[in-house]
């Protein structure tokens, strides 16, 4: 499935902040994908009498046995609250919890585990940066810059903080292919810009943005950058040191880990300057009624009892992804995407949205005469799970002049057989609505 690249290696597209795999041996890749399917118990399910074909990985991925076992082992054998406990269960839980943090640190290439903050997911991480980093720096005349293809979670938190401070939100436009107009970025960056929030991979269009190039442009104007890697971390190599990114956010459930856990990576200098986002237990060094002294990094951002099981599961998910190989995953998914686009284009009346030169395995499309919700319902009858709607990206829908799309999003366990089932379902829908 192609050469596995070394840590931090970006041989042919360093601008995008991703690794490009070598040539994929299709037969070997298929055998590996089929073997990996055995690691996911849910894929044995039958839906309405048919084998489950799961093509909704951009919404959430399924969980391998390794992750399920890790979560179960925590609750069965060493369930306890972390930190400060002197009994054995607490010590074991703490070691597993902090061990998972170190695994995430290695997975994203962070310099130190203290730069990895546990959160509920990418959305909470962005809200944390909006309120703790951006809000104290914003005011009338100041600006936040985002792109035209952002998920709502990288729009609404900035709108909230702009409303609170009198600042403005500016937007990098895109073209009909779903590619950012990079030449517009220098014109939009100024000494008024407090932060540039940027999606790595669009959850609607699959566009892989040249984040390294954009970070360099932003830094040349002294503007820090937040990268939303929720849709990229499980599909392409993400290395925060190589990218020189200031903040990066990830959701565990989109990278084969549990729901309710994610991470905020931040450069240590920024995190040290930022005040806590929430107050409570574990984020303090000492408390009196007169004064509170906050805990060291990363704990000052982790108030209250944490999601220990989620963290343990996230650590297991990073192990799983590294064992499979990110370059191998990217190569197989690229082959599946090419096959799916070719098959879809054979069906009359199909329109694919997002034809960027650099794409991840997300396929948004319309079928003439069929509303996406109707298409999704018919596909469900065939055992095929896709996502329909605006995908929490209504500005993207508005740009293309549509209310919704059907979206098939691929994962490492998908096969060309899954794509064939999707195509058969689309043909059934065309017969129903002809």
CATH number given to 14-55+325-433: 3.90.1150.10
Q: How far is CA 89 from the centre of its chain?
A: 32
Q: Is the pLDDT of residue 24 over 70?
A: no
**pLDDT tens digits for 206-246?**
999 999 999 999 999 999 999 999 999 999 999 999 999 99
Q: DSSP assignment of 239-269, as one string?
A: -HHHHT-SEEEEEGGGGTS-TT-EEEEE-HH
pLDDT confidence tier of residue 119, bands split at 50, 70 and 90? very high
Q: What is the mean pLDDT of residues 349-375?
A: 96
pLDDT at 283: 77
The three-class DSSP label of residue 294 is: strand
Percent share of the chain, pLDDT over 70: 94
pLDDT confidence tier of residue 3, bands split at 50, 70 and 90? very low
Which active-site residues does the annotation give? 392
The answer to whether 132 touches 264, Cβ cutoff 8 Å, is no
Q: Is the pLDDT of residue 14 over 50?
A: no
Whole-angstrom distance, CA of residue 327 vs CA of residue 324: 9
Across-strand partners of 56? 409
The three-class DSSP label of residue 226 is: strand
Q: What is the mean pLDDT of residues 391-416?
A: 96
pLDDT at 217: 97
Whole-angstrom distance, CA of residue 204 vs CA of residue 151: 9
Domain layout of the chain by residue ranges: 14-55+325-433, 67-322
The three-class DSSP label of residue 385 is: strand
Dihedral sign from CA coordinates of 176, 391, 262, 102: negative
pLDDT at 20: 34
User: b or e along 385-410 (b: 16 or more beta carbons within 10 Å of the residue's beta carbon)?
Assistant: bbbbbbbbbebbbebbeeebbbbbbb
pLDDT at 291: 86
Whole-angstrom distance, CA of residue 333 vs CA of residue 411: 7
Please tell me what DSSP assigns to residue 213: H
Q: How far is CA 214 from the centre of its chain?
A: 18
Long-range contacts (CB closer than 8 Å, 24 or more residues apart) made by 9-16: 10/212, 10/237, 10/239, 10/242, 13/358, 14/212, 14/242, 15/210, 15/212, 15/213, 16/208, 16/209, 16/210, 16/211, 16/212, 16/213, 16/358
Task: Name the residue with tokens 């794409």.
Answer: 359
pLDDT at 25: 56
Instruction: Give the pairing of strands 50-51 and 46-47.
Output: antiparallel
Q: Is the pLDDT of residue 151 over 70?
A: yes
The three-class DSSP label of residue 107 is: helix
Residue 416, judged by CB atoms within 10 A of its CB (0-12, 13-18, 19+), counts as middle
Q: Is the pLDDT of residue 256 over 90?
A: yes
Q: Is the pLDDT of residue 95 over 90?
A: yes
pLDDT at 292: 82
- Domain 67-322 in CATH 3.40.640.10? The answer is yes
Across-strand partners of 407? 364, 387
Whole-angstrom distance, CA of residue 171 vs CA of residue 269: 27
Across-strand partners of 431? none
- Within 8 A by CB and 6+ apart from 94, the residues are 82, 83, 85
pLDDT confidence tier of residue 29, bands split at 50, 70 and 90? confident
Same fold, 14-55+325-433 and 67-322: no
Q: How many Å is the maximal CA-CA distance in the chain? A: 73
Phi, psi of 198 (to 5 degrees): -140, 130
pLDDT at 123: 97
Whole-angstrom distance, CA of residue 233 vs CA of residue 252: 9
Q: What is the mean pLDDT of residues 350-358?
A: 95
pLDDT at 26: 66
Tokens of 29: 């890749």
Across the chain, mean pLDDT equals 92
CA dist 32 → 45, 137, 329, 415 (Å): 20, 49, 10, 10
């Amino acid at each position: 499935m192609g050469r596995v690249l070394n840590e931090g290696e970006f041989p042919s597209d360093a601008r995008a902040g991703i690794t490009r795999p070598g040539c994929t041996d299709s037969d070997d890749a298929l055998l590996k994908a089929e073997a990996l399917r055995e690691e996911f118990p849910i894929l044995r399910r039958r839906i309405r009498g048919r084998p489950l074909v799961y093509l909704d990985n951009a919404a959430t991925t399924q969980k391998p046995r390794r992750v399920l076992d890790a979560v179960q082992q925590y609750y069965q054998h060493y369930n306890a609250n972390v930190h400060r406990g002197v009994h054995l269960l607490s010590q074991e839980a703490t070691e597993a919890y902090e061990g998972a943090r170190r695994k995430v640190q290695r997975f994203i290439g962070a310099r130190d585990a203290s730069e990895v903050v546990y959160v509920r997911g990418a959305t909470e991480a962005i809200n944390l940066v909006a309120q703790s980093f951006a809000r104290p720096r914003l005011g009338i005349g100041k600006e936040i810059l985002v792109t035209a293809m952002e998920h709502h979670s990288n729009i609404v938190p900035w709108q909230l903080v702009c409303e609170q401070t009198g600042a403005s939100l500016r937007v990098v436009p895109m073209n009909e292919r779903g590619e950012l107009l990079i030449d517009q970025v220098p014109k939009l960056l100024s000494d008024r810009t407090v932060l540039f929030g940027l999606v790595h991979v669009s959850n609607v269009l699959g566009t892989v943005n040249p984040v390294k190039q954009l970070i360099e442009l932003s830094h040349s104007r002294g503007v820090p950058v937040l990268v939303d890697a929720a849709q990229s971390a499980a599909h392409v190599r993400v290395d925060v040191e190589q990218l020189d990114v200031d903040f990066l956010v990830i959701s565990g459930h989109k990278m084969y880990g549990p729901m309710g856990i994610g991470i905020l990576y931040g450069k240590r200098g920024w995190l040290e300057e930022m005040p806590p986002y929430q107050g409570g237990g574990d984020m303090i060094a000492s408390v009196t009624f007169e004064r509170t002294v906050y805990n060291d990094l990363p704990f000052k951002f982790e108030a209250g009892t944490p999601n220990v099981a989620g963290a343990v599961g996230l650590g297991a998910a990073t192990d799983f992804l590294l064992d499979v190989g990110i370059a191998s995953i990217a190569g197989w998914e690229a082959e599946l995407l090419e096959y799916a686009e070719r098959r879809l284009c054979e069906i009359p009346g199909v329109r694919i949205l997002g034809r960027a030169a650099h794409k991840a395995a997300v396929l948004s499309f319309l079928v003439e005469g069929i509303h996406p919700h109707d298409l999704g319902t018919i596909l469900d009858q065939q055992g095929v799970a896709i996502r329909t709607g605006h995908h929490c990206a209504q500005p993207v829908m508005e740009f293309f002049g549509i209310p919704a799309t059907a979206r098939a999003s691929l994962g490492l366990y998908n096969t060309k057989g899954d794509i064939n089932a999707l195509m058969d379902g689309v043909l059934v829908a065309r017969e129903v609505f002809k």
